[in-house]
A and B are shown apart, each in its own frame.
Chain A
Amino acid sequence: MTDAYIVGAGQSAFGSYPEETYRSLFRTAYERAVPDDVDGDRVNEAYVGTLGVGGRQIGLSGPAVTEHLGLHGTPCTRVENACAASGYALRQAVLAVEAGVADLVLAGGVEVMTDTSAEATKYWLGVSGETEWERMAGTTFTGVYAQMADAYLREHDADRRALSAVAAKNHANGARNPKAHLRFECSVADAEAAGVVADPLTLYHCCPTSDGAAALLVASEEVAASFDDRVRVAGFGASSDHVGLYDRETYTAIPASERAAATAYGRAGVDEPRADLDFAEVHDCFAVAELLAYEDIGLAAPGEGARLVTEGVTAADGAFPVNTSGGLKSKGHPIGATGAGQAVEAFEQLTGGAGDRQLDDPERGLTHNVGGSGGAAVVHVLERAGVTGA
Chain B
Amino acid sequence: MNGESPRIVGGGAYAPRNRLSSEAVAEAWGRSQARGVERVAVPDADEDSLTMAAAAARRALAAADRDAGSVELLVFATTTPPVEEPELTPRLGEFLGVPETAARRTHAGGTRAGTAALADALAALGGEVETTGVGARAATDGSAPAGVDGPALVVAADAPLGEPNDETGHAAGAAAGALVLDTGRPEGDDASAASGARVLARGEYATDYAGTRGRERGAVETGGLDVTTYDRAAFREPATGAVDALVAGAPQTAPDPSEVDALAITAPDGDRPARVAGALDCSPDRITTPVRRLGDTGAAGPLVGLVRSFADGPNPTGDADDTHAATGAAEHHTLCVGVGSGGAADAALIAGTAPVSTRLDGTRTVSYTDALRLRDRITGDAPAGGGAAVSVPTWRRSRAARYRLVAGACPNCGALSFPAEGACGDCHDLVSYDRVRLPRTGELVTVTGIAPGGAPPEFVPQAERGGDFPVGIVRFERDGETVDVPMQVCDADAVGRAGDASGERESDVGDTAPESSRVTAGDTVGHVVRRVYEQEGVVRYGAKARPVDD
A residues contacting B by CB (< 8 A) are 116-123, 126-127, 130-140, 142-143, 146-151, 154, 196-201, 242, 244-247, 251
Contact = CB atoms under 8 A, between A and B. Distances in A.
Contacts of B386: 119-120, 123
The 8 A-B residue pairs with the shortest CB-CB distance, nearest first, are: A119-B385, A146-B448, A120-B385, A147-B446, A119-B383, A137-B486, A131-B388, A246-B486
Contacts of B79: none
Given A120-B386, A198-B451, A133 B486 contact: yes
A126 B388 contact: yes
Contacts of B542: 136
A138 B469 contact: yes
B488 interface: yes
B445 interface: yes
Interface stretch (B25-33, B184-192, B253-261, B453-461): B453-461
B385 A116 contact: yes
Nearest to B484: A246
A381 B471 CA distance: 37
Contact of A150 (B398, B425, B521): B521
Interface residues of B, number: 44
Contacts of B517: 199
B164 interface: no
Contacts of B445: 151, 251
A386 B455 CA distance: 51
Contact of A147 (B448, B469, B485, B544): B448
A137 B383 CA distance: 18
Contacts of A121: 385
A147 B388 contact: no
B447 A150 contact: yes
Contacts of B398: 132
B456 A135 contact: yes
Nearest to B388: A131
Interface string B450-492: 1100111101101000000101110000000000111110000
B532 interface: yes
B516 interface: yes
Contacts of A142: 454
Contact of A139 (B418, B486, B544): B486
Given A132-B394, A133-B485, 10 more contacts: A117-B383, A120-B385, A122-B454, A122-B457, A130-B486, A136-B390, A140-B450, A147-B446, A150-B446, A199-B449
A154 to B, nearest CB: 6
A251 B473 contact: yes
Interface in B380-408: 383-388, 390, 394, 398
Most buried by A among B446, B469, B521: B446
Contact of A138 (B383, B385, B456, B514): B456
Contacts of A119: 383-386, 457, 460
B521 A151 contact: yes
A131 B445 CA distance: 20
A121 B425 CA distance: 32
A125 to B, nearest CB: 9
17 contacts: A119-B383, A120-B384, A120-B386, A123-B388, A133-B486, A136-B388, A137-B544, A138-B450, A138-B462, A139-B471, A143-B471, A150-B446, A151-B445, A196-B449, A199-B448, A244-B486, A247-B484
